[in-house]
Amino acid sequence: MTTRKSLLLTILLTMKKHLNNFLLLTLLFIPTQVNASNYALVIHGGAGWFSDMSAEEVEGIKNGLKEALDIGYEILESGGSSTDAVVEAIVVLEDNELFNAGKGAVYTSELKQELDASIMVGRNNDAGAVASVTNVKNPIRLARYVMEETKHVMFSSKGAERVAKDAGLEIVYPNYFYQKNRLDDAKRIKKENSKMGTVGVVAIDKDGNIAAGTSTGGMTNKMPGRIGDSPIIGAGTWAENNVCGVSATGHGEFFIRFNVANEICDLIKYKSKDVNEAAEIVIENLKSIGADGGVIVLDAEGNAAMTFNTPAMARAYKNSKGEELVKIYRD
């Protein structure tokens, strides 16, 4: 063989080797079991009674859900990540005083507001959470910052507020959260924890990545320092690629003790339940012990469950097949 021919052969063989490596790498990074066209977003704005509400409030809640749904969905549609969709949709709800999160947070027994939030991404079990923050405009942004920029998973009260300040997130005076009707509720309801709310979003993006987030003011008349399920990874929020994502709302103490969000994904993963069966088993179990609440669940194909044992749960869903829903009551 001439030197020229052997040089050409070497070049061809090297190219073939690199092509093989390239193909192998491409295959490794394609998520399994995922149909990229099945992106979807599901939202809740709290489970409860929604009985003493004016028609305007009901309309306002539906409009708020729809606004959050559209913002999250646009992100997914344009190829954005489920993490972005979850955070931006939750920010819309945190900024809307009709929801018990951010601006609309309920009051503690000492008539102050303490906010909790968490986020989880299913690609790598990454998670971030904050509890009892009093001056952070959007706690979900802080939860994301904790997840992405610190080596920890959860911060509370003053430490969390310091992280928010260092992160350059928007800090507000506590009176930003002032709301006359919520304050009146807290003064009236002095005997028991009540008035549930909370917001949550679960999304799956075009890459098949699932993310889930939850944000809340907690329960009206909660004791100062009390932390509910919303910032607890596994209880109020869970995301696991190729299995499911969950955000919960309801009587947090029970949701913590029964590890609700993770339990639902485990039923899908280990017992081959579908999203609706899994959610129903867990929500029915809660009902049997007197725990009120609901969950939103999204699986790896973009199928959603919106399951609750209260008379109503504010909820919304949109997927890439063109299905869309915004609802509060059962029918």
Of 113 and 198, the one with the shorter C-beta distance to ligand ASP is: 198
Which of 108, 220, 221, 249 binds ligand ASP (CB under 6 A)? It is: 249
Residue 154 C-beta: closest distance to ligand ASP, Å: 15
Which of 97, 114, 229, 266 binds ligand ASP (CB under 6 A)? It is: 229
In this structure, the number of other CB atoms found within 10 A of the CB of residue 234 comes to: 19
Q: Which stretch binds ligand ASP (CB under 6 A): 49-57, 85-93, 156-164, 193-201?
A: 193-201
Catalytic residue numbers read: 198
Residue 131 C-beta: closest distance to ligand ASP, Å: 10
Give residues 194-223 in contact with ligand ASP (rule: CB under 6 A).
Answer: 196-198, 216, 218-219
Closest CA to 31 of 199, 175, 242, 179: 242
Residue 22 C-beta: closest distance to ligand ASP, Å: 48
Task: Tell me how many degrees the CA angle 51-54-59 measures, rounded to the nearest 5.
Answer: 100
- Determine the size of the site formed for ligand ASP (CB under 6 A): 13
Residue partners of 85: CB distance under 8 A and separation at least 6: 41, 72, 73, 75, 76, 201, 203, 205, 211
Give residues 20-59 in contact with ligand ASP (rule: CB under 6 A).
Answer: 46
Of 197 and 213, the one with the shorter C-beta distance to ligand ASP is: 197
88 in contact with ligand ASP (CB under 6 A): no
Q: Which stretch binds ligand ASP (CB under 6 A): 70-78, 136-144, 192-200, 280-288?
A: 192-200
Query: How far, in Å, CA of 44 to CA of 328, rounded?
Result: 9
Residue 71 C-beta: closest distance to ligand ASP, Å: 22
Rounded to 5 degrees, φ, ψ at 92 are: -60, -45
Task: Give me the torsion for CA of 183, 184, 190, 196, rounded to 10°.
Answer: -70
234 in contact with ligand ASP (CB under 6 A): no
Answer for the pair 128, 160: CB distance below 8 angstroms, yes or no: no
Long-range contacts of 34-38 (CB under 8 A, 24+ apart): 34/207, 34/208, 34/242, 34/300, 35/301, 36/206, 36/207, 36/208, 37/206, 37/320, 38/204, 38/301, 38/302, 38/319, 38/320, 38/321
Residue 95 C-beta: closest distance to ligand ASP, Å: 18
| Binding region for ligand ASP (CB under 6 A) | 46, 196-198, 216, 218-219, 228-230, 249-250, 252
